[in-house]
Structure 1
Amino acid sequence: MTTYAIGDLQGCHAEFVALLETLDFDPRRDRLWLAGDLVNRGPASLACLREVMALGDAATTVLGNHDLHLLAVARGGAGLNRKDTLDAILAASDREALLDWLQSRPLLVHERRGQEVVMTHAGLLPQWSLAQAAGLAAELEAVLGSERSGTFLERMYGNAPACWRDDLDGIDRLRAIVNVLTRMRFIDADGCLDFAAKEGLDSAPPGFSPWFQYPRADDPWLLFGHWAALQGETPRRRVRAEALDTGCVWGSRLTALDLESGERTSVPSRRR
């Protein structure tokens, strides 16, 4: 059995199928870890959602910010953005089954493979222990699985609070958790997030650095997507972090990381 970790699909269904064929992936034998953002911006979000859901237990995916945006549009009253490609999902006959499945996905997954392997969409705040991060993710998952989910999805958007505090409560606490796990790129030494800079490392605001350039008290292997501008690189990292999003939807490539060998396999984007 081989486990492959794959970055953001974002509707790149043809490339996803091509990558699985290149890997000779067999769902009866192998496993996938998907770093979230299955949907949006690409041409075949509905096909991606159906494909991953059909893989059943062979695929584990975490929620990304675009996945949550789909849920907010469908169930939280949010509006579509100009560049969204979610209409086919919203009009699909199996829409509710797909949304139910997506809403039940975790924000964080982990497994011991010699060392703890952890996957979230955007990364892990250095100030959070692994146990704390798992607990906070579970808090948010519980809300998404409850009758309060619609209220949360209505109020999810926002950049405040930008700094985590253990005494946060209510919507501020939930928003801070979701922003760390699905939107984080640059932080300062206190763990405060910057939301404006979204490009490569040279776009860091003064006093801010990529989250993976700060040390941690523990030593997990961290897998994340979200940051296509990194092109799979994590330079000057202070933790073992693997960037999985290699910008398929932006015309680059879709990449899988073999968690046993560390080998990367990519297929080119068809959106050139």
Structure 2
Amino acid sequence: MTAYAIGDIQGCHAELERLLDRLDFDPAADRLWFAGDLVNRGPESLAVLRRVRALGDSAIVVLGNHDLHLLAVAAGNAKHSKKSTLGAILRAPDRDELLDWLRRRPLLHHDPDLGLTLVHAGLPPQWDLAEALARARELEAVLRSDDYPEFLHAMYGNEPARWSPDLSGLERLRFITNALTRLRFCARDGTLALKEKGEIGSQSPGLWPWFQVPGRRTRADRIVFGHWSALGYWSGENVWAIDSGCLWGGALTALRLDCEPLEPIQIDCAGYLQPGRD
């Protein structure tokens, strides 16, 4: 079995197909890990969602912030429906089946055989891997319950910015969501800095990339993540960043997981949006 992790697709269906051809992907023998943000902003989100769902057990998908945004808009959160290209999904005859499948995807995936963990954005430095898995399962249980629309209406916002085990209710779920699907930079004490989105070195004083915070409790764990297109493909310190900005004219990255060292394979992307645009 060959296994690959694939970075943020965001509706770039043609590029996904070209990458799968480049990998000579065989769904009967190979496995794909998707780092989240299957949809939004690109031109063919519906086609991407259908394609990945059809892969069945040969694909593992962790949810990204744009995937959660789709679920929120579909659940009636009209206040946050702007700046999306999700209409084709919302009008599709198989909409309900696709959305039900999507909301049952995990927020974090760990493979003990490969010794690798997949998350969309990052992990706060005070969580070890067991804590991260527990918090992800907590949020997954809500998304898979009948009460998920309530959470999706209250999901947006940057507070609370720092984890405490005493957090409860929607505030607790919001922090977990922001950590797993939006994190790039944080302070040494784990306070999330969600407005910081640039390259390493562009951040305000006192902030660190989440994976470079001194004393990070997952520093011995190998973690693959997406979300950070301004960072591009990056490896070091036991992490691999694989959102290489396909949507913005960068590349679509697959990372081969069953070899040492892990091997990136990339295809160039024409780009559908200009960097710096929302």
Q: TM-score range by the shorter chain?
A: over 0.9
Contact 1:156 1:171 in 2 (8 A): yes
| Residue in 2 that maps onto 1:21 | 21
Q: Aligned partners of 2:107 and 2:60: how far apart in 1?
A: 11
**1:186-265 matched pairs, under 5 angstroms:** 186-214=185-213, 215-218=215-218, 219-234=220-235, 239-261=237-259, 262-265=262-265
**C-alpha separation in 2, matches of 1:80 and 1:175:** 15
CA contact (8 A) 1:78 1:154 kept: no
**Which residue in 2 is equivalent to 1:61?**
61
Q: What CA distance in whole angstroms lies between the structure 1 residues aligned with 2:195 and 2:125?
A: 20
Deviation, structure 1 residue 82: 4.4
State yes or no: 1:142 paired with 2:141. Answer: yes
Quote the offset at 1:216 in angstroms.
Answer: 3.1
SS in 2 for 1:265: strand
Shift of 1:81: 4.8
Please report the TM-score for the alignment, with normalisation by the length of structure 1: 0.95
SS in 1 for 2:267: strand
Secondary structure, aligned partner of 1:10: coil
Secondary structure at the counterpart of residue 92 of structure 2: coil
- How many aligned positions are there? 268
**TM-score if structure 2 supplies the norm length?**
0.93
**After superposition, where does 1:97-136 map in structure 2 within 5 Å?**
97-113=97-113, 116-136=115-135
Alignment match, 1:3: 3
Structure 1 residue 264: Cα displacement: 0.9
Unaligned runs of 5+ in 2: 273-278
> Structure 1's 213 and 108: CA in aligned 2 closer, same or farther, altered over 3 A?
same
Give unpaired runs (5+ residues) of structure 1: none
How much does 1:129 deviate? 1.1
> Aligned with 2:46: secondary structure?
helix
Larger mean CA deviation between 207-216 and 99-108 belongs to: 207-216
- Residue deviations 1:39-60, cap 9 Å, x none? 0010000000000000000000
Shift of 1:8: 0.3
- Equivalent residue, structure 2, for 1:174: 173
Q: Map 1:155-170; keep pairs closer than 5 Å.
A: 155-170=154-169
Give the deviation of 1:259 after TM superposition. Answer: 0.5
Mean Cα deviation higher: 215-224 or 105-114: 215-224
CA distance in 1, matches of 2:229, 2:78: 25
d(CA) in 2 for partners of 1:201, 1:71: 31
- In 2, distance between residues paired with 1:80 and 1:167? 28
Q: Cα deviation per residue 1:120-177 (whole Å; 9 max; x = unaligned)?
A: 1001222101111101000000001112101000100010000111110001100000
For 1:83 and 1:170, locate their aligned partners in 2 and report how far apart those are by CA, in whole Å.
28
- The range that moved more, 105-114 or 164-173, is 105-114
Q: Is the 8 A contact 1:6 1:256 kept in 2?
A: yes
Amino acid at match of 1:113: D
| Deviates most, 80-89 or 178-187 | 80-89
The CA deviation at 1:180 is 0.1
The one-letter code of the counterpart of 2:155 is M
Distance 1:82 1:216 in 2: 36
Match of 1:267, as an amino acid? I
In 1, are the aligned partners of 2:232 and 2:245 still within 8 Å (CA)? Answer: yes
